[in-house]
Structure 1
Amino acid sequence: MNKKMDQLQVTRKEVQDQKDKALVHTEVVPAHAEPWLEDVENLINKRRNIIEATGCFNVKKRYTVGKQAYGILQEIKVIEEDKSKIVFTHEKICLAEVRSTPIGSSTSAPVPMGTQNNFESRVSVFNDALQALQSNNESQKMIALCGMAGVGKTTMMEQLKKAVEDSGTFDWVVKVVIGENNDPKSLQQAIAEYIDECLDETTVDARADRLRKIFEAKSQQGKKKNLVIMDDIWKKVDLTKVGLSPLPDGFKLLFTSRFEDVCHNMRVQVVFRVRVLSDTEATTLFFETVGPFPSDGDDDKRQRTGEAIVKKCGGLPIAIVTIAITLRGKIVKAWEKALRRLERDDLEDLKSVTNSIFKMSYENLEKEEDKAIFLLSGLFPDDFSIRTEDLLRYGWGLSIFKDDETFATTRSDMEICVENLIHANLLTKSDENGCVKMHDLVRAFVLSNFSKVKQASIANRDNISAKCLAENSYERILLKWAGMSGFPSDINYTNLSLLILMDGYELSKFPEDMAKIMKKLEVVSYENMGIPVLPKTFEHSTKLRTLCLRSCSLTGCHQRLGS
């Protein structure tokens, strides 16, 4: 059985790859493909349960396991026969007859990013997920939304969060963002802050025990129901180590992740797949976002060109909305130019499509200040709530607003920049007051495609090589400690103008000789640092214009600040 299952999983991967490629190139996906993939998935889960049962040497149990394994072999045989019905013809999906309603002449406001959940393909997933959250079924305590980057998982999660809050399904709801870094201590701290609790314990295990006691107490208060949302999981989170397992009565977990295997490894009981939009939905979203056409008689040309652009977006909402906003109110030649560019570039996958579209949006920004604030925003970690006040302080220190003479006029100009970036879909509003967010695909585009400003965001020492840090003379660096024991000395600090240090509770002493190298520093920011070292560190930094301290322990530093 194991041998046959391994062979079947190889075949499954081939079919999945063919299906993904067909979606990217807007080709027809065979009707038998999706049901076949789901059958294989169910069989994999059944096989997983059998393997877990073989740990016992009880003869009766082993006999039962043998019968189950034989039954799976028969199912594999049927599935292998059904595979012959899946034929990828590379036939293109016909979009020429697809029309948004109405075409170009609509006077209604453009549809914002979140509204693709109104489409039929999203409504069913949303309703099923909401039902699972509201269910008292113990087999539905851990629920996940899975799908590729930019498909709308977080958007749907936010709408689910609002729905359960409005309906009063849960007495309290906690949401934390994971991203690339799933350091247990940082996650525990985020959860504690959200529920207004203080974790004085220093070890991960002690903090986990403390959180478990808090959760148990909450569940016992009148049998209250609680929901913890963990957004954007990249790798397996040890829930026991964090303090989220075992879950008390009335507790549920909701995850979002682009990696379905991660959710299965975490024993998530119910997984909902958020898929790309259908052709009709993608076209409708595009034209509704574009809004009414100008009265220049080019409606038919715009319609044809728009449909061709939508094909290139592969049903990915973030790509569709971003390019639609770029073309809003533009003459038809601008639409044709955008299409030519998409056709000319080597767009073999959705990542290259989104990069090309984000580049267009960036180049269409009219003011240099807008572009500079956009690049600066890309320095912050994944899914980070970026304080606009920080953009103001850092922008001031880096002299981004060159014509401003006062802090007040700079604040006004910065707010205009942020609003322009939101309208361009390059930034989005955060659920935290005074904050904005950058989608992780946009952030990846910023960090990988710009030589104008060399910047690196380092969440831990694993996500960037020592060789890269030593060879590249970065101008801006954000260091999010995540377990680093000391200040990294292998980074080339020669041309550094901005340095942001975060979450360094256990940071060892800042090397004094390092400051002599960083003579070009204009901005330094400490956030959640144990003891920010300030003595002679910056005496060589004659260009320093901004020094930010937030949530830092200043014990022993007041005299040095005064000096």
Structure 2
Amino acid sequence: MEPILTGVAANLSSEARKSIFQEVKRHIRYVMIYKKNVDKFEEKLEMLIAKRTSVQQEVDAAKRNVQKIKADVEEWCNRVDGKIDEEKKKVKDLQDRAINKCFIGLCPSIKSRYQLSKRSEEGATTFQELITEGGQLTTPVGHWDVPQDIEDEPPKDFEAFESRQKVFNDTMEAVKDNTSISMIGVYGMGGVGKSTLLKEVVRQAKKAKLFDWVVLCVVNQTPDIREIQNQIADSLGLRFEEQSIPGRACRLRERFKEEKKFLLVLDDLWSKLDFTEVGIPSGDELKRCKILLASRSQNVLLQFDGMHARNTFPIGLLNHKESWDLFKKMAGEDIQISSSSELQIVGNEIAKRCGGLPIAISAIARTLRNKDPSAWRDASRQLLQRSSSRGLKEISPAVYSAIKLSYNHIDGEKLKQFFLFCNLLSHDTLIQDLLKYTIGLGLLPGGYTMEEARDTLLTWVSKLKASGLLLDSYNNERFDMHDIICNVALSIAYTKNSCVLTLKQEDVLKDWPTETMKQHSWINLRVDGNTVLPDQVECPQLTFLHISSEDCSTKVPPEFFKEMKRLKVLDLTDMDLSSFPSSIGLLSSLQTLCLDESNLGDITVVGELKALEVLSLWNTDIEKLSMEIAQLVKLRLLDLRGCTKLKDAKA
């Protein structure tokens, strides 16, 4: 038995010696290769910093596009930043200690080199793990999120007037009702304050968290289904992959099905809107949502299935006291703190002559803000003259006079012309499009850079908004205008020099107003797929032409532009230009050409437009740019955003 125990003890002793030897060897190895480990640490550190910089570049690009950074990317970046600082500090401290010598500087510090080597190896391993994780991060690093509401205050024009409070309370009660009410409506004449009331309902509903989603969309007199879908999608944080209207409608319906409870608000309805075409829930699907509609006519509201008269609420005109209170608020401190009894009397008279319509009261009060008393007296006299409303329906002479007075007080002829031009365009126009047009028409002062031109444009838009003549849109990239102000502005432009003509599908479906078109310099025409453009239209005075279709099916005849020699701005949106009209090459004065969202063929002829300064091919299917376009030496802006098929950009 004793020999056996002795043998076991000997084996254990041998294993222990081997283990101790291996451990000693490992520790000695750290000392021997300490410099190699430090070099490897620095190499992995550089690699990690490079990866971290690369990810940060993607993060910065996503943030510039107002995207939200994904959680795993943010967590990795924070962890990397912390580890880099932590490991660098530890290694730096050990390096400083390893430099010191022992035995009066005659030999290195073995212990410090050992610690430095071991720490460097561990740090290099940690860095490599982080590098590997960085390569596995989800891409792209950002994602689109629903825009956050920034308005905590009521709309600036909202006032809890007695005549409005009951309508507002009734509407909110219907919105809150959890029983059978799914369709709610408000109605009243244009400019009476329907939109302002709806915005306050939306604000209150969001603040009280009554719904999972609250969506506000403006429809307008001529509904653009694609634009309505875009507004709803923006509010829901939805990105369309589909290009067709039916495809987008299916996507919207699927999204609405995912939501438990939502409020959809549709403003400025002029006729019944086809919910199915847009992708809005209807029938039994309405049990999960509420839809709030606004129109000038109760009859329009009652055309919608599920709408009952008891759930529609009228908004009337302001009484005199309410008109005066609103005028004082919009005019600002001038009248609030003025001790001049004359200013109070004149202002009160002006408010009375605005006919109780908030849009007119706001416009003229803002116009007179900071003006001398003489300007107030002059305004009162002009309103007393009661200019004719030029046959405009639903606009009284008093309202017409009030808005025209605001126009007369616009500073400078350039800004006045700019205002009139803005009202020729569609609702919710992109400011970038407005910039392209104004450059082509020469409305901006000369000798400017593109940045200076945009700054001037934004200043003008801000001035007109401050005067109540333009409105904010559903995002900061667009602007809007009220229908009444728009109609008055177009009337002014027409009576001034007969320069403006707006045409709709019904205006040209049977017969083109060719004689009328000869007299005008600005024409805005919207058509659908059934429209057939004439072979040629004689428009010798025309400088601006905008034709937009709905489904890229409207073609343009080859000689259509032959008699438009003075044309400076041409915008063909959503058109079928696969057979590109050759007569465009004859437009020697053309300075802006926009072919956005159109089907394009060979556009080589564009190279003949030597005066061209702006060429916009946004969201087209163009695959390459010809060398001829490179010869457009005056070109200042080439918009290729959304041209996903563009591969060969020789120009």
User: TM-score scaled by structure 1?
Assistant: 0.71
**2:480 alignment partner in structure 1:** 437
**2:221 alignment partner in structure 1:** 180
State the shift of 1:406 in Å.
Answer: 2.6
Which residue, 228, 239, 252 being the options, matches 2:275? 239
How many Å separate the matches in 1 of 2:359 and 2:242? 41
**1:254 alignment partner in structure 2:** 292
How many Å separate the matches in 1 of 2:320 and 2:509? 38
CA spacing shift, 1:372–1:561, aligned 2, 3 Å: farther
2:187 paired with 1:155: no
Which residue, 561, 572, 582 being the options, matches 1:515? 561
**Does the residue aligned with 2:497 lie in a helix, a strand or coil?**
coil
1:161-214 C-alpha deviation (Å, 9 max, x unpaired): 22222332222233332222246677557656665254859686x876665454
CA spacing shift, 1:488–1:339, aligned 2, 3 Å: farther
How many Å separate the matches in 2 of 1:524 and 1:532? 17
State the shift of 1:374 in Å.
Answer: 0.4
How many Å separate the matches in 2 of 1:285 and 1:339? 17
Which residue, 401, 417, 432 being the options, matches 2:444? 401
**1:502 alignment partner in structure 2:** 548
2:482 paired with 1:446: no
**1:427 alignment partner in structure 2:** 470
**2:414 alignment partner in structure 1:** 369
CA spacing shift, 1:442–1:297, aligned 2, 3 Å: closer
Which residue, 266, 270, 275 being the options, matches 1:230? 266
Q: Which moved more, 1:386-395 or 1:257-266?
A: 386-395
On the 8 A contact 1:325/1:425 being kept in 2, the answer is yes
How many Å separate the matches in 2 of 1:531 and 1:194? 32
On the 8 A contact 2:155/2:200 being kept in 1, the answer is no
How many Å separate the matches in 1 of 2:415 and 2:469? 11
How many Å separate the matches in 1 of 2:558 and 2:230? 30
**Does the residue aligned with 1:176 lie in a helix, a strand or coil?**
strand
AA of the residue aligned to 1:275: G
On the 8 A contact 1:394/1:523 being kept in 2, the answer is yes
Q: Which moved more, 1:255-264 or 1:115-124?
A: 115-124
**Does the residue aligned with 2:585 lie in a helix, a strand or coil?**
coil
How many Å separate the matches in 1 of 2:340 and 2:317? 27
State the shift of 1:369 in Å.
Answer: 2.2
On the 8 A contact 1:470/1:490 being kept in 2, the answer is no
**Does the residue aligned with 1:415 lie in a helix, a strand or coil?**
helix
On the 8 A contact 1:486/1:509 being kept in 2, the answer is yes
2:176 paired with 1:134: yes
2:302 paired with 1:264: yes
Show the 5 A alignment for 1:48-63. none
1:446-473 C-alpha deviation (Å, 9 max, x unpaired): 2222233612233423489946453232
2:527 paired with 1:481: yes
How many Å separate the matches in 2 of 1:306 and 1:463? 46
Show the 5 A alignment for 1:167-316. 167-182=208-223, 187=228, 191=232, 195=236, 196=238, 198=240, 200=242, 211-216=252-257, 218-219=258-259, 224-240=260-276, 242-243=278-279, 244-246=281-283, 247-267=285-305, 268-269=307-308, 270-293=311-334, 299-316=340-357
Which residue, 152, 163, 183 being the options, matches 1:121? 163
Gaps of 5+ in 2: 1-152, 603-621, 629-651
How many Å separate the matches in 1 of 2:377 and 2:574? 49
How many Å separate the matches in 2 of 1:380 and 1:175? 22
State the shift of 1:531 in Å.
Answer: 4.2
How many Å separate the matches in 1 of 2:253 and 2:163? 38
Gaps of 5+ in 1: 1-110
CA spacing shift, 1:305–1:411, aligned 2, 3 Å: same
State the shift of 1:511 in Å.
Answer: 0.9
On the 8 A contact 1:460/1:483 being kept in 2, the answer is no
How many Å separate the matches in 1 of 2:534 and 2:177? 49
How many Å separate the matches in 1 of 2:473 and 2:231? 16
CA spacing shift, 1:365–1:257, aligned 2, 3 Å: same
On the 8 A contact 1:373/1:391 being kept in 2, the answer is no
**2:430 alignment partner in structure 1:** 387
CA spacing shift, 1:558–1:151, aligned 2, 3 Å: same
On the 8 A contact 1:459/1:481 being kept in 2, the answer is yes
**Does the residue aligned with 2:593 lie in a helix, a strand or coil?**
strand
**1:104 alignment partner in structure 2:** none
Q: Which moved more, 1:328-337 or 1:553-562?
A: 553-562
Q: Which moved more, 1:153-162 or 1:118-127?
A: 118-127
On the 8 A contact 2:554/2:576 being kept in 1, the answer is no
**1:340 alignment partner in structure 2:** 381
How many Å separate the matches in 2 of 1:512 and 1:186? 30
1:307-360 C-alpha deviation (Å, 9 max, x unpaired): 222221121111111111222222323222212211122569853222212221
AA of the residue aligned to 2:288: G
2:547 paired with 1:547: no
**Does the residue aligned with 1:137 lie in a helix, a strand or coil?**
coil
1:367-397 C-alpha deviation (Å, 9 max, x unpaired): 222112101111112xx11222222211111
CA spacing shift, 1:435–1:485, aligned 2, 3 Å: same
State which structure, 1 or 2, has the greater radius of gyration over its C-alpha atoms: 2
How many Å separate the matches in 1 of 2:528 and 2:205? 33
CA spacing shift, 1:291–1:523, aligned 2, 3 Å: same
How many Å separate the matches in 2 of 1:288 and 1:151? 17
Q: Which moved more, 1:247-256 or 1:288-297?
A: 288-297
State the shift of 1:494 in Å.
Answer: 2.8
**Does the residue aligned with 2:582 lie in a helix, a strand or coil?**
coil
Q: Which moved more, 1:434-443 or 1:236-245?
A: 236-245
AA of the residue aligned to 2:157: T
How many Å separate the matches in 2 of 1:322 and 1:310? 11
Show the 5 A alignment for 1:529-548. 529-531=575-577, 534=580, 536-548=582-594
On the 8 A contact 2:534/2:557 being kept in 1, the answer is no
CA spacing shift, 1:297–1:237, aligned 2, 3 Å: closer
State the shift of 1:415 in Å.
Answer: 1.9
How many Å separate the matches in 2 of 1:185 and 1:497? 28
AA of the residue aligned to 2:269: I
How many Å separate the matches in 1 of 2:337 and 2:315? 39
On the 8 A contact 1:116/1:285 being kept in 2, the answer is no
2:423 paired with 1:378: yes
Greater RCO, CA 8 A, separation 6+: 1
**2:500 alignment partner in structure 1:** 455
The total of aligned residue pairs comes to 444
**Does the residue aligned with 2:313 lie in a helix, a strand or coil?**
strand
**Does the residue aligned with 1:514 lie in a helix, a strand or coil?**
coil
How many Å separate the matches in 1 of 2:458 and 2:253? 42
How many Å separate the matches in 1 of 2:408 and 2:154? 22
How many Å separate the matches in 2 of 1:318 and 1:299? 26
State the shift of 1:364 in Å.
Answer: 1.2
Q: Which moved more, 1:241-250 or 1:507-516?
A: 241-250
**2:37 alignment partner in structure 1:** none
1:521-562 C-alpha deviation (Å, 9 max, x unpaired): 211223344547645242101111112243344466556755
On the 8 A contact 1:385/1:437 being kept in 2, the answer is yes
CA RMSD of aligned residues (A): 3.2
On the 8 A contact 2:567/2:587 being kept in 1, the answer is yes
2:397 paired with 1:352: yes
User: TM-score scaled by structure 2?
Assistant: 0.62
**Does the residue aligned with 1:513 lie in a helix, a strand or coil?**
coil
